[in-house]
Amino acid sequence: MQLLEQRCRAQQVAGSSRALHARPILSVRQVQLQRRCSSGIIPRTAAPSVEEVTQTATAGTAQLAGEQHRASNSSTSAPQQQQQQQQAQQQQDGSSFSWTKHWWPVTPLSYLDPKKPVPVTLLGHTYVVWFDPKAEQGQGKWRLMEDRCPHRLAPLSEGRIDEDGTLMCSYHGWQFAGSGECTRIPQIGDPAKMKAACASPRACVASFPTTVVNGLLYAWLEAGPAAEAEAAAVKPYVMPELEASKIKMWGMTEQPVDYTFWLEQGMDPTHANYLHHTCGFPMSDALPMPGEALPKEVDLKEGYLWKHGNYTTKHVGMNAERQFVPPNSLRVVYDRGFVRGFATMGTPVRPGVSRVFFAFVTPPDMKLPPAFKLLGKMPHWLRMQSPLADQDTVVNAKQEAYMRSLNLTTKEYAAFARADQGVLAAHRWFEAAGYEQMWKQRMGSSYSPDSSSSSSAEATSSSASSSSSSSNTGVGARYAYKPYTPPKDESFYFDWYERHTKNCAECQAGMKLTEQAANAAAVAALLLVIAAASFAAAAKTLLSPGVLLCALLAAGAVWLRGKLIDFRHGQFISSRYRWQKDGGLSLVKGDPIKLY
């Protein structure tokens, strides 16, 4: 036995030596950066001093290679162990589906500001999105990195993009290239020592592959050279009909509803004539919907295609397809109408919160109605708000709250109609893909589906002041960890600032423009009052034409200011007033709410 062990050790040493000599010769700095930047979460041990780092960087070549080999193994042990644990857990759970080895939609490019880093939460982890102007030979590239400075773990999304094109942490000024390499530590004055410290694997930030398709930013949620190669070999799924569509207008919101309900609702067309009765889908048009039965087994990697017929009197004889392409795309196609379908995608943010994307599909050879053409030319911030989104949110959030509070599953659904086939298949896929296991793997001990949150009230504030001053930790982090804990205030469902405006540079610009217009109306009203007083003094009467005209215009300016303030609140901050004014889901007019 001892002889066998000695032979095994000798083979391991020989294999390591051959692998080392087969590799291209890299500098210590290159090896360290490659190892550190390819890893995810790094174990936090006592940090070495600058002198120790410098000594390590200037030691003999042979010794450095051995030391670096051991250091790199140590630095990557945590993510490697995590990946091994995930694979073992997947095998134990009977699921071989990898949730991180896919392109996930992050945000429409039009929502981003190239001058400002922004936070985003995807699959339970927090990242920072920023524009690297030096990448792609000066063409620039959007980056996704860990939202964590390795120095003191401050969020990099609170930082700034420096003039040299690096991302600077606002806490102590550490700077990082798009690859995750640390380029500057201002607290170290000696250039040689700073170079050695920047070369430490502990000074890097994990950077993830990104790509842009049809105006959407996608991210591959595994880091490192192997992940770059694997991601480059795969293209994000794009709905063929959308590729050929005349108009590509993406909308995106963060819904306080779990990812599973996004797919469930997308596979449920017959809710439209009831839930969206006030949005152009009258109940009187509803018909029983024919649909084909789906097999009990759902393909884990290919998803499923569900064909169904018409469900309204306006589309008798219509044929439709709803195709789920794992893990995040839903293709819906109709064989008639100027809107021939839509593409929708989803990204899990955290348990109970999902990021939802939506785009209509119009045939390239079809003449569009004037109203639809006008819609495409309107500013994004004028067309984004819709009561339809609120209706979906309220029903799904309350449905989830009820199910979670009583620990119910889809097995409790009384799904008798063929119209429910797509919904049931969706949940069969989630179970086969190990959806709950994915959260356990991504969030570790912090994931506890049976625990409740005590911070719902704090997380549901929708006031403009609190929204604008809240910490930039990602929208998902603002919501209660367990959204099935009933919020004390239903404004939680209508917090449009947190769901959308905070994530959209276009809507932030629209909100600022509306504020400026309201302020201008107030100034105009004041000047008109002063002018009216001047006319009255000159004419020695309040009934002169000049006085009356100025008074009328001043009143109009005051009225306009009030309308602009109401518009700003309802369009960018909260839709709760409109919801209750229109009667909510009950379609009964409610008492108006005072906003101020």
Please, how many CA atoms are within 13 Å of residue 299, restricted to the half-sphere of its CB?
A: 10
Residue of 499, 462, 470, 457 whose CA lies nearest to 155: 470
pLDDT tens digits along 32-57: 445 445 544 444 444 555 555 445 44
Write down the pLDDT at residue 37.
Answer: 53
CA dihedral 388, 392, 394, 395 (to 10 degrees): 130
CA angle, 594 as apex, 588 and 596 as ends, to 5°? 155
Answer yes or no: is pLDDT of 297 > 80.
yes
Write down the pLDDT at residue 154.
Answer: 97
Residue 150: cis peptide before it, omega within 30 degrees of 0: no
Please, how many CA atoms are within 13 Å of residue 241, restricted to the half-sphere of its CB?
A: 22
Highest mean pLDDT among 115-129, 303-317, 354-368, 461-475: 115-129
Mean pLDDT on 459-487: 38
Mean pLDDT on 548-562: 95
Q: What percent of the chain has pLDDT over 70?
A: 72
When mean pLDDT is compared across 126-130, 274-278, 410-414, the lowest value belongs to: 274-278
Write down the pLDDT at residue 279.
Answer: 79
pLDDT tens digits along 407-462: 888 889 999 999 999 999 999 999 999 999 999 889 886 665 543 333 333 333 33
Contacts of residue 471, defined as CB under 8 A and 6 or more positions apart, other chains included, come to: none
Q: Could you give the CA distance from residue 125 to residue 473 in angstroms, rounded to a whole number? A: 11
Residue of 197, 226, 196, 192 whose CA lies nearest to 209: 226
Q: Is 560 or 41 the better-scoring residue by pLDDT?
A: 560
List the structure tokens of 562. 């009030």
Write down the pLDDT at residue 447.
Answer: 64
Using 50, 70 and 90 to split pLDDT, how confident is the model at 183?
very high
Answer yes or no: is pLDDT of 308 > 50.
yes
Answer yes or no: is pLDDT of 489 > 90.
no
Task: Classify strands 341-350 and 353-361 as parallel, antiparallel or unpaired.
Answer: antiparallel
Answer yes or no: is pLDDT of 311 > 70.
yes
Write down the pLDDT at residue 449.
Answer: 53
Q: What percent of the chain has pLDDT over 90?
A: 48
Using 50, 70 and 90 to split pLDDT, how confident is the model at 339?
low
Tell me the CA distances in angstroms from 507 to 354, 372, 405, 498, 502, one per residue in order.
20, 21, 35, 12, 8
Mean pLDDT on 521-543: 91
Mean pLDDT on 503-511: 94
Using 50, 70 and 90 to split pLDDT, how confident is the model at 380?
confident
Using 50, 70 and 90 to split pLDDT, how confident is the model at 487?
low
Q: Is 476 or 162 the better-scoring residue by pLDDT?
A: 162
Contacts of residue 436, defined as CB under 8 A and 6 or more positions apart, other chains included, come to: 449
Whole-number CA gyration radius for the chain = 29
Give, as one character, the DSSP assignment of residue 324: E
Please, how many CA atoms are within 13 Å of residue 441, restricted to the half-sphere of its CB?
A: 25
Answer yes or no: is pLDDT of 15 > 70.
no
Using 50, 70 and 90 to split pLDDT, how confident is the model at 363?
confident
Mean pLDDT on 215-235: 95
pLDDT tens digits along 64-94: 334 443 333 434 434 445 545 555 555 455 4
Residue of 513, 12, 123 whose CA lies nearest to 350: 123
pLDDT tens digits along 155-170: 999 999 999 999 999 9
**Positive or negative: CA dihedral 510, 355, 122, 493:** positive
User: At how many degrees (to 10) do helices 259-266 and 387-405 cross?
Assistant: 120
Answer yes or no: is pLDDT of 323 > 50.
yes
Determine the residue type at 107. Answer: T
Answer yes or no: is pLDDT of 515 > 50.
yes
- 3-state secondary structure string across 210-270: EEEECCEEEEECCCCHHHHHHHHCCCCCCCHHHHCCCCCCCEEEEECCCHHHHHHHHCCHH
Please provide the average confidence, as pLDDT, over all residues in the chain.
Answer: 79
Mean pLDDT on 322-326: 95
Q: State residue 347 phi and psi, 5-degree precision.
A: -135, 125
Q: State residue 458 phi and psi, 5-degree precision.
A: -70, -35
Burial class of 94 by CB neighbour count within 10 A (0 to 12, 13 to 18, 19+): exposed
When mean pLDDT is compared across 61-75, 178-192, 249-263, 553-567, the lowest value belongs to: 61-75
Write down the pLDDT at residue 378.
Answer: 81
Helix (H) or strand (E) holding 172, with range, is: none
For residue 184, the cross-strand partners are 175
Write down the pLDDT at residue 126.
Answer: 96
Residue of 122, 16, 59 whose CA lies nearest to 442: 122
Contacts of residue 492, defined as CB under 8 A and 6 or more positions apart, other chains included, come to: 256, 397, 456, 459, 460, 462, 479
Q: Could you give the CA distance from residue 473 to residue 482 in angstroms, rounded to a whole number? A: 17
Contacts of residue 223, defined as CB under 8 A and 6 or more positions apart, other chains included, come to: 37, 38, 39, 40, 180, 206, 207, 208, 209
Give, as one character, the DSSP assignment of residue 495: B
Residue of 522, 530, 515, 520 whose CA lies nearest to 569: 515
